[in-house]
Each structure stands twice: as C-alpha cells, then as structure tokens.
Chain A
Amino acid sequence: ETGVTQSPTHLIKTRGQQVTLRCSSQSGHNTVSWYQQALGQGPQFIFQYYREEENGRGNFPPRFSGLQFPNYSSELNVNALELDDSALYLCASSRLATSGSYNEQFFGPGTRLTVL
C-alpha cells in the first residue's frame, strides 16, 4: 500500500510570487484535504477535494486554490504570497464511500514553505 506523498519537501519563495504544491493520495483513497500548519500551532483546514471538485473549505481567502486530478492526486496553489503564508502545508487522503461515510485521514510528510 503506497502512502501519501508530497512534493517538494521544502520551498522558498518571495512575497508576491505564486506557488504550487503537489500531493499523491494513498492507494484506494478518493478524497484529498489540505491543511496549513503555522509554527507552534495545530493544522488548519484549507479545503477538501472529492471527484475533482472542491467539497468543503475552511477560512482561507480565494488566493488559495486547488485541483484534483482523475488519479485523485491534488495540487494546492497559492497566489500573491504573503509573509504569513510561511508554514508547513499538509495534505491528507481518505476514502469517502457512496454512503457518505469517511475513513480516517492519512497525512503526508508536508511541504515546508518559507516566504521572504
């Protein structure tokens, strides 16, 4: 069973730039959620994708956007980077059954983004 993978591991950008982070979900999972974790805080939910559509969103501005592909992998895009966007970005995959029930979420190792 292949676990959740994320790329890149680390990234440094400057304020105003755009960034794309990538996530491959665990085998058999069809749902991907993205979280932002600032230093010393717990992860904060950004949004979730299911069947290539956004399926729930946390309190993040529209410059945070995403995609999910037919193979269930996903991208997180952040435009007009701000200093406060510096954080660990985590993706988690899970399986949403047709009944509507979820299994638990499995997290990737994260991408550490630094905005200068």
Chain B
Amino acid sequence: DAKTTQPTSMDCAEGRAANLPCNHSTISGNEYVYWYRQIHSQGPQYIIHGLKNNETNEMASLIITEDRKSSTLILPHATLRDTAVYYCIVRVGGYGGSQGNLIFGKGTKLSVKP
C-alpha cells in the first residue's frame, strides 16, 4: 500500500502557483520523497525528489517539513499543460529488488483553469 496521503483533486488558476500537499507520517529515515506526474494517457514523468532539504529544479520546488512527515510540491507559475495527476511517493534511497520500485497511490488530480 502507498505510504502517502494526498487530496483527490485541486484546482489552480493559470499563472498562479500550485501547491500540492502530501502527508507521509510514517516515513523512515532512509526514505526519499519523490514526485511524479501523469498527463492523461501518457507514462508518469519524474518531477523532483528530496530527503530532508528543500529542493528546486526547472520544473518545481519541493518543501519538506522539518519532521519529514509532510511535504509540498510547488509549481510556481502553473500553465494549462500542468493539468495532470500528481503522485507523491516515498521510497527507500535505492537498493536492489522491490525496495527500489515505486508504490503509487491515486495521486492528486490538478486542474489548471484559464
């Protein structure tokens, strides 16, 4: 089972920041927080990941609380093309076997509106 809890859906106005929350209260010390998104009928796309520090890349920012029990993915200027299902996943920091694989929940359906 997925170890994360996300809202089922969210709306965001085009050009505004989209803040997607994720709860992972049972996260272990060696587990990373990963974010993927899936645009309709396509394969999931990697966005960003982090362990305990905040991270930023060209797509998004990831804010992880100090106790690591929750995080927020921020899309700073949402566009219509950001409409997708966003998955928050916790995962052991990479070793062989099933530990290295992704356990998806149902994610958050983000709708960006004009």
Tell me, in angstroms, the Cα distance from A55 to B101 when the chains sit together. Answer: 10
Residue in A closest to B107 when the chains form the complex, CB atoms: A42
- Selected from A42, A50, A92, A101, the residue in CB contact (under 8 A) with B2 is A42
Contact of B43 among A4, A45, A94, A102 (CB under 8 A): A4
Q: Contact partner of B46 among A56, A105, A109, CB < 8 A?
A: A105
Interface bin, chain A: 20 to 34
Of the candidates B103, B105, B107, the one having the most CB atoms from chain A within 10 angstroms of its own CB is B103
Q: Chain A 29-62, CB within 8 Å of chain B: the 1/0 string? A: 0010101000011111100101000011110000
Chain B residues with CB under 8 Å of A104's CB are 34, 46, 49
Task: Report B50-97 residues with CB < 8 Å from chain A CB.
Answer: 87, 93-97
User: Are B96 and A50 touching (Cβ within 8 A)?
Assistant: yes
Q: Assess A56 versus B97: contact at CB under 8 Å? Given A4-B43, A43-B44, A110-B43.
A: yes
Using Cβ atoms and an 8 Å threshold, which residues of chain A touch B101? 33, 45, 48, 56, 58, 105
Closest B residue to A90 by beta carbon equals B43
Judged by DSSP, the binding face of A is strand
Known contacts A43-B44, A90-B43, A106-B46: does B99 contact A56 (CB below 8 Å)?
yes
Say yes or no: is A100 at the interface (Cβ < 8 Å to chain B).
Answer: yes
* Nearest residue, chain B, Cβ from A112: B41
Q: Does B15 sit at the interface, judged by CB under 8 A?
A: no
A-B contact pairs, 28 of them (CB 8 A): A31-B100, A33-B101, A40-B106, A42-B87, A43-B44, A43-B104, A44-B104, A48-B98, A48-B100, A48-B101, A56-B99, A57-B98, A58-B101, A90-B44, A92-B43, A96-B94, A96-B96, A96-B100, A100-B94, A100-B95, A100-B96, A101-B93, A102-B95, A102-B100, A103-B94, A104-B49, A107-B44, A107-B45
